[in-house]
């Protein structure tokens, strides 16, 4: 099983809403990542969790709040987003190593 | 400062011919390189990787070549098929003390394989 599952696939939210993106993997990977990708751009790293601890936060605004409840789950809590935050949000996992496996992404639209 | 560069935003190749996608990097600390394939509105799919101690890695139709002295790598796809049409991202990874490795991506190359 080399699958990273992200829900929901699509999300439309208003600027005053609170929503959460979810990510799950059952490969026993101990590193999990959130990336943001805008159209025609490469994925940009947002957060890295290693052994369920936040190890990297790439200067992401506080309206994005990550959470790692256990080694299989990763959430991204969203609050008071701006229209420019609309993007494809990608979750990935790796065995604290090399190849990162990506989920299908959540297409987020902020209206 | 882009540490991983893909200078060709697009490439068109005839079906059955070879596709060669190129990638350059600047950071000497990178010790692992990967290629991902991405369709629109989907997550990147891992294709093939190479360690910096090797100069070639092959997996079926995909071969990655690494030239450390030139800080250059390339992905060869042969024979190319229409289903290979996608955006290809080069990524590089370096050891990081105290935290998980992270990937640095190039800007991507749109490959179109013409029937």
Q: Is residue B54 pLDDT above 90, yes or no? A: yes
Cα B5 versus chain centre, distance: 10
Give B-chain residues touching A48 at CB under 8 angstroms: 99-100, 102
Residue B29: closest CA among B89, B98, B97: B97
> Percent of chain A beyond pLDDT 90?
73
Q: Which of B34, B49, B100 sits opposite A55 (nearest CB)?
A: B100
Nearest residue of B to residue A108 by CA position?
B41
Least Cα separation, residue A18 to chain B (angstroms) = 23
Q: Is residue A1 pLDDT above 60, yes or no? A: no
Give the helix/strand (H/E) hosting B34: strand B30-38
Phi, psi dihedrals of residue A84, rounded to the nearest 5°: -70, -10
Q: Is residue B74 pLDDT above 90, yes or no? A: yes
B61 DSSP β-pair partners: none
| Interchain CB distance below 8 Å, A90 and B44 | yes
């Amino acid at each position: 099983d080399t699958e990273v599952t992200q829900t929901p696939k699509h999300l439309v939210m208003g600027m005053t809403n609170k929503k959460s993106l979810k990510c799950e993997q059952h490969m026993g990977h101990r590193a999990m990542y959130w990336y943001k990708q805008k159209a025609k751009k490469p994925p940009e790293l947002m957060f890295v969790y290693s052994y369920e601890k936040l190890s990297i936060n790439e200067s992401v605004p506080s309206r994005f709040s990550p959470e790692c409840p256990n080694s299989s789950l990763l959430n991204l809590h969203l609050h008071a987003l701006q229209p420019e935050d609309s993007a494809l949000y990608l979750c990935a996992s790796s065995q604290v190593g090399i190849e990162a496996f990506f989920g299908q992404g959540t297409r987020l639209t902020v209206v | 400062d882009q540490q991983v560069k893909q200078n060709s935003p697009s490439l068109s190749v005839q079906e059955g011919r070879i596709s060669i996608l190129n990638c350059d990097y600047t950071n000497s600390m990178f010790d692992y390189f990967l290629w991902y394939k991405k369709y629109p509105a989907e997550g990147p799919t891992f294709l093939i990787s190479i360690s910096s101690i090797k100069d070639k890695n092959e997996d079926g139709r995909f071969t990655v070549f690494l030239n450390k002295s030139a800080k250059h790598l390339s992905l060869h796809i042969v024979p190319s098929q229409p289903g290979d049409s996608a955006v290809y991202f080069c990524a590089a990874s370096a050891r990081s003390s105290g935290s998980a490795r992270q990937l640095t991506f190039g800007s991507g190359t749109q490959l179109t394989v013409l029937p």
